[in-house]
Amino acid sequence: MGQKIKPVIYTILIAFNSEQDTKRVLKSLQKQKLSPNYELRAIVADNSTDKNQKELINKECSRYDFVIYEDLKENTGFAKGNNLAVKKIAPKADYLFLLNIDTEIKKDCLNHLLKAQQETEAAVVGPLIVYGDDPSTNWYSGGRWYPWLAAIKMGNRNQKINHYDKRREVTFVVGAAMFMPITTYQKYDLFFEPYFMYYEESDYCARLVMNNEKLIYEPQAVVYHYIPKSTVKSPNNVYYLIRNQWLFWERTNKGLRKFVSFFAVVALQKIHFFRYILKPEMRQAVSQALEDAKNKHYGPRK
């Protein structure tokens, strides 16, 4: 009789001029204490625009026999980058773990995610995400989609973590760390590419929830996210956040809810406009975002 093939958990990482981040996250994956009944592999899909960074990231990937390096040739964006990577490895995967490149994972993280998925039959499971430079402080500990506001909220951001937190059902799992069985991908595909970046995972989670799929938050699985607690948004950040909220509103609402949530989005975006009115580059980004949303110009910013 032939040897039984182990189920494969494939980690998907999108790199963007991020050799140091790649080094850290791959090292943490190598140290993962995964059940011997499962096999861990990874793919690094490289969106880098810096040739030297591409070479360094490729070199780093070559140090590990469980890692595939895939040069995407251009900055395809977060949504399309993940789609291309998953499409390449999907025939070999039993589980997918979408993970931000600027992270590292606790040694037993994948075992907890796997256990949570199998015990709940969830379409997607999200771990507790804390700041890499301050592991006692929460970045993501479950989230909710508010359809009548066309809004997503991540609870307890920047608060001290709750050591008594329990596994629970949520309606939003952040794209920085999403674990799913391959059956979720086979049934629903992955991200809607016109988002380019931001709101793609919000759209995906909303689509799952509207199809009565279960999303689970598992606090025993821990991811460290190396991102500042207070970040200054760039004009590009502001552009995609404002433009894509309209796309998210349009795709996830209909009827009376679409009518009501329209005014919620308008109110929120007026706040953004007045916040940036005295900053020319930001004001331009807001204006362009609104104009592009009106004209349904999505994808990368022109």
| Per-residue confidence (pLDDT) for residue 297, from 0 to 100 | 96
Instruction: Let me know whether 243 and 268 are in one domain.
Output: yes
Instruction: Let me know whether 151 and 253 are in one domain.
Output: no
Q: Which residue range(s) make up the domain with 148? A: 8-225
| Cα distance between residue 236 and residue 281, in whole Å | 10
Instruction: Let me know whether 128 and 175 are in one domain.
Output: yes
Whether 192 maps to a domain, the answer reads yes
| Per-residue confidence (pLDDT) for residue 2, from 0 to 100 | 46
Instruction: Let me know whether 101 and 159 are in one domain.
Output: yes
| Per-residue confidence (pLDDT) for residue 3, from 0 to 100 | 52
CATH number at residue 123: 3.90.550.60
Whether 12 maps to a domain, the answer reads yes
Instruction: Let me know whether 99 and 175 are in one domain.
Output: yes
| Cα distance between residue 165 and residue 181, in whole Å | 24
Whether 1 maps to a domain, the answer reads no
| Per-residue confidence (pLDDT) for residue 270, from 0 to 100 | 87
Residue with tokens 């861990």: 40
Whether 191 maps to a domain, the answer reads yes
Instruction: Let me know whether 55 and 117 are in one domain.
Output: yes
Instruction: Let me know whether 116 and 167 are in one domain.
Output: yes
Dihedral, 173, 174, 180, 183 alpha carbons, nearest 10: 80
Six-digit token string for 27: 């090292």
Split into its structural domains, the chain has a count of: 2
| Per-residue confidence (pLDDT) for residue 1, from 0 to 100 | 40
**Residues with Cβ within 8 Å of residue 22, at least 6 apart in sequence:** 13, 15, 44, 57, 60, 61, 101
| Per-residue confidence (pLDDT) for residue 185, from 0 to 100 | 97
pLDDT in tens, 79-90: 999 999 999 999
Report, as ranges of residue numbers, the positions in the chain whose pLDDT lies below 70.
1-4
Six-digit token string for 82: 């993940």
Instruction: Let me know whether 245 and 173 are in one domain.
Output: no
Domain's final residue, options 193, 225, 257: 225
To which H or E segment does residue 180 belong?
strand 177-181
Domain's final residue, options 225, 243, 273: 225
**Residues with Cβ within 8 Å of residue 241, at least 6 apart in sequence:** 198, 199, 233, 289
Whether 302 maps to a domain, the answer reads no
Domain's final residue, options 203, 225, 247: 225
Instruction: Let me know whether 156 and 121 are in one domain.
Output: yes
Question: Is the model's pTM score more than 0.75?
Answer: yes
- Give me the helix-helix angle, 280-294 and 255-276, nearest 10°: 160
| Per-residue confidence (pLDDT) for residue 278, from 0 to 100 | 85
Query: Reduced to 3 DSSP states, what percent helix, strand and coil does the chain have, rounded to the nearest 5?
Result: 45, 25, 35
| Cα distance between residue 279 and residue 283, in whole Å | 6
| Per-residue confidence (pLDDT) for residue 228, from 0 to 100 | 87
Instruction: Let me know whether 102 and 146 are in one domain.
Output: yes
Instruction: Let me know whether 81 and 144 are in one domain.
Output: yes
| Per-residue confidence (pLDDT) for residue 26, from 0 to 100 | 98
pLDDT in tens, 249-289: 999 999 999 999 999 999 988 887 888 888 899 999 999 99
Instruction: Let me know whether 244 and 221 are in one domain.
Output: no
